[in-house]
Amino acid sequence: MGFFREIYKSAFRPSELKALMMIKLESDKFAPPKQPLRELAGELNDRDFAYAALSKVSRSFAVVIRQLPTGLKDAVCAFYLILRALDTIEDDMSVPDDEKIPLLLDFYNKTEIDGFTLEGIGDQEDYRVLLENYDKIIRFYKSLDKPYRDTISHACMEMGKGMAEFSEKEMVSIDDFDQYCYYVAGLVGIGLSDLFYHSGLESKVIADRKDWSNSMGLFLQKTNIIRDYHEDLYADRTFWPKEVWSMYAENLEDFAANPESADALNCLGLMVLDALRHIPDCLDYLSEIRDAQVLRFTAIPQIMAIATLAEVYNNVEVFKGVVKIRKGMAARVMTSDLTIDDVYLYFSRYLKKLLNKTTPYADHYHETRFLVNKIRLDIQNRRKALRAAKNITNEQPV
């Protein structure tokens, strides 16, 4: 089904075709078990259940995570599932606030209680199964080294606090938006960086520069929030900050009613511009990563995000439905050996694409071009420095 449609879309891009085939083979090898997670829960040990749950709740994440070195991989897997469980509670609108808020605030403590499970929470079957079998995740989590557990627990506590705060608060200003994204994504970036540091694979700089880690999370989260405008609107969730959209509309849903309007596109442009300002931090962060697998793990989602931003920019389809990047493009990134220079090249390419979509009569035309050009110049300089460093090493006598 989907696979053949993607082949068609990439028909004139041989490198994408090859990558699609490779990823098809690869993902067949790592395909989520066909059996429902509910059945598997009775059969699998804690660790296998955790990985089965991971591949059910996030297929793309499950693929990148598998490439990480073993100890770190388990820690990242547990981290992901615990936060996914927390998010499942946050997202279930059928849970009343007087039940939800204490649960969000205390979830990091619950994760220490042997045998703790939750019944009847979750919008989707696999999420419900995850919570019903949370005792398995707790045992898996408890098998991790202490520094990993401390990092996960702390992130879970902070995120629960933030989710509780925002369940009672409207997202108005850009500051609120940044704050919310910090809670749900920045903390993930900061936590992951701690895990990388504890694994011994990455330097202390990666753990210490929480501003960089936060930007890594914010860039991904904001990109998803922009892309998911339509889906979230119809799920009765709103994440676009009022301070931004109220400049262009009475109600956020006005854009869906008038997708071709200048107001809709100007608002979208401003949301994209806001996301773009995180890129310099992301590039600083990625250039500091030493381990090739960690670089792939951290860079692939960032490349997908810049490709998505370039796709959604000035695109009325955002207000009509889901805008997705070609699977072939994603497959190509996921199957390549990714160096930092490749990361720079991808960013530069998609920023150029975005630049080509700017229109002189749009609001923030100059600001957007100025920022994008500045980042592209910075990338050029980084690449020059990289080449110079390489040449110096090459020229050194043996």
330 with 10: CB under 8 angstroms?
A: no
Helix (H/G/I), strand (E/B), else coil: 302: helix
Options 53-61, 80-88, 188-196, 218-226: segment touching Mg ion (CB under 5 A):
80-88
Q: Does 91 bind Mg ion (CB under 5 A)?
A: yes
| The binder of Mg ion chosen from 16, 74, 90, 274 (CB under 5 A) | 90
Residue with Cβ nearer Mg ion (91 or 176): 91
Please identify, among the stretches 8-16, 86-94, 98-106, 387-395, the one whose residues bind Mg ion according to the rule CB under 5 A.
Answer: 86-94
87 binds Mg ion (CB under 5 A): yes
The residue with tokens 């930092």 is: 340
User: From the candidates 237, 290, 370, 387, which is the catalytic residue?
Assistant: 237
- Which of 127, 180, 197, 347 is catalytic? The answer is 180
Burial zone of 242 (CB within 10 Å; 0-12 exposed, 13-18 middle, 19+ buried): middle
| Least gap, CB of 80 to Mg ion (angstroms) | 14
User: What would the two tokens of residue 246 be?
Assistant: 């109220």
For residue 155, the minimal CB distance to Mg ion (Å) is 15
Residue 191 beta carbon to Mg ion: minimum distance, rounded to whole angstroms: 16
Instruction: Rank residues 68 and 104 by Cβ distance to Mg ion and give the closer one.
Output: 104
Q: Judge whether 35 and 128 are in contact, CB under 8 Å.
A: no
Pick the closer one to Mg ion by CB: 46 or 228: 228
Question: In the annotation, is 237 catalytic?
Answer: yes
Nearest distance from C-beta of residue 334 to Mg ion, angstroms: 25
Q: At what angle do helices 134-142 and 146-167 cross, to 10 degrees?
A: 140
Q: Is 180 a catalytic residue?
A: yes
Annotated catalytic residue, options 84, 149, 209, 227 = 227
φ/ψ region of 32 (left if φ > 0, alpha if ψ in -120 to 50, else beta) reads beta
Reference 193, options 67, 76, 333; nearest CA is: 76
Smallest distance from Mg ion to CB 167, Å: 10
To the query of whether residue 297 is one of the catalytic residues in this protein, the response is yes
Q: Of the ranges 45-53, 79-87, 135-143, 153-161, which one interacts with Mg ion (CB under 5 A)? A: 79-87
Cβ proximity to Mg ion, 196 vs 229, nearer residue:
229
Measured CA to CA in angstroms, residue 286 lies from 80, 206, 273, 275, 292 at distances of 21, 9, 21, 17, 11
Q: What span, in angstroms and rounded, lies between the C-alpha atoms of 123 and 102?
A: 19
Q: For residue 388, give the amino acid letter.
A: A
364 DSSP assignment:
T
d(CA 272, CA 282): 16
Nearer to Mg ion, 148 or 180 (CB): 180
> CA geometry: angle at 151 spanning 219 and 157, to 5°?
80
Comparing CB distances to Mg ion, the nearer of 90 and 126 is 90
Is there binding between residue 232 and Mg ion (CB under 5 A)?
no
For residue 84, the minimal CB distance to Mg ion (Å) is 10
Does residue 263 interact with Mg ion by CB under 5 A?
no
Binding to Mg ion by residue 194, rule CB under 5 A?
Answer: no
Is 179 or 315 the residue whose CB approaches Mg ion more closely? 179
Per DSSP, helices labelled H in 229-364 are: 229-234, 242-245, 254-257, 262-276, 279-288, 292-312, 327-335, 340-356
Nearer to Mg ion, 232 or 291 (CB): 232
Count Cβ neighbours within 10 Å for each residue of 194-204 and write b for 16 or more, e otherwise.
bbbbbbebbee
Q: Is 227 a catalytic residue?
A: yes
Nearest approach, Cβ of residue 315 and Mg ion (Å): 25
Q: Total binding residues for Mg ion by CB under 5 A?
A: 3
- C-beta of 236: minimal distance to Mg ion in Å? 13
Q: How many CB atoms lie within 10 A of CB 132?
A: 18
Catalytic: which of 297, 313, 346, 350? 297
Integer Cα distance of 63 and 28 in angstroms: 11
**Cα 276 to Cα 338, 347, 398, distances in angstroms:** 22, 11, 43
Catalytic residue numbers read 180, 227, 237, 297
Binding site for Mg ion (CB under 5 A): 87, 90-91
